[in-house]
Amino acid sequence: MQTTGRAVLKGKGAARARAGHPWIYRSDVAEAEGETGDVVRVTDRAGRSLGRAFYNPHSEISLRIATREDEETDEAWFRGRIERALAYRESLGIDADAYRLVHSEADGLPGLVVDRYGDYLVLQIGSAAVERRLAWILPALGDLTAPAGVLLRGDAASRKKEGLPVGVRALSGEVPDLVVAREGPIRYEARLATGQKTGSFLDQRENHMAAARYVEGAARVLDVFTYAGGFALHAARTAERVEAVDSSGGALDAARRNAELNGLENLTCTRASAFDLLRERSDAGEVYDAVILDPPAFAKTRREVPRATRAYKEINLRAMKMLAPGGVLVTCSCSYHFSRETMEETLRSAAADAGRTMRIREWRGQSSDHPEVLTIPETRYLKCAILERS
């Protein structure tokens, strides 16, 4: 499976490629030759090389530039990219046995995500070219990580856009649905075949541990949108009492099991609508030493940003009103389209309307095993602000 086709880019597409962004949209391709899943040579209209890309004529993102060099993307190339990705993780000194090994474009492997959960690997594939080359990728992962089993989480709707089958299946070995993973001093259950993402929110790992430092000694902590208790579990290690809130009974059952797993008796769970609970408690004058907000993506598209902005402002305004003097707000957004700048402006407006002076303690992003690339803004999606009421 060597490079078999070619693609010529229009001016806009060529400029985008030269600027370092790997995604080339169908509308920016002047002409192309190749089949779905091919690796093609990419040039501008003058014939100047722009690298080689994974090609899919049926996808809106027709080309995903894998290398800016004129080099073969053969089996050795894939293995080399995986080796580099693993070496980077080794350099991080990750205090966990569940983390991301390969982060797609940020590791030079467009469309490939590999997460480790102890002895098991979970893959997400969003590129036909990558799926066609699993016979190269799996042996490399096997040699380098020696997993007991590898699972493909191919249940993302985005796979349909690539013409890939949707489903979950084992690629090698036997993979249990439920494993117990470690995140610093906390252990938690991860359901690899059915849980969110690949089983857990690995991109929040470092923020979970940072939040525990900021709420140390807090008498009352409220964690809203808790899911399986990621923030609440870490907060309960250092705070006196933590209340975890979610609208999903199944998520709260998982949070309770995780609390028991860690011997945390100071964590209670409440099933409620986050918006209703925040409104009712703030109207009632409830006071907390720390509030944690980690909502799902309110803006999955650019069109949803105005509505999402109102929602983010509402929950943060309510949280700020409930903070005791010196209290801490840990607030997150995983919506790429809701930018850091928009989030900061929204928090500023919420603070003004709440009549609270909020000091910025720290701005954070996703965990370092989910690296950002300067020329790919989409790799910077998770925002976490830690604020203090002064």
The number of C-alpha atoms within 13 Å of 202 and in the hemisphere containing its C-beta is 30
Per-residue HEC secondary structure of 219-281 comes to: CCEEEECCCCCHHHHHHHHHCCCEEEEECCHHHHHHHHHHHHHCCCCCEEEEECCHHHHHHHH
Q: Which two three-digit tokens encode residue 300?
A: 């999955």
Distances (CA, A) of 327 to 31, 282, 351: 58, 15, 14
Tell me the residue type at 380.
R
Cβ partners under 8 Å of residue 111, min gap 6:
54, 64, 104, 125, 126, 127, 129, 130, 162
φ/ψ of 35, rounded to 5, equals -110, 165
Give the position of tokens 């391709």.
Answer: 29
- Tell me, yes or no, if 332 is annotated catalytic: no
Distance CA 233, CA 230 (A): 6
Q: Which two three-digit tokens encode residue 15?
A: 């400029």
Distance CA 308, CA 300 (A): 9
Q: Which residues on adjacent β-strands are paired with residue 364?
A: 384
Write down the H helix ranges in the chain.
11-18, 75-92, 128-132, 134-145, 158-161, 205-214, 230-238, 249-261, 274-283, 305-322, 340-354
Distance CA 205, CA 198 (A): 14
Helix (H, G, I), strand (E, B) or coil at 310: helix
Which of these is catalytic: 269, 332, 334, 384?
334
> Active-site residues: which are they?
334
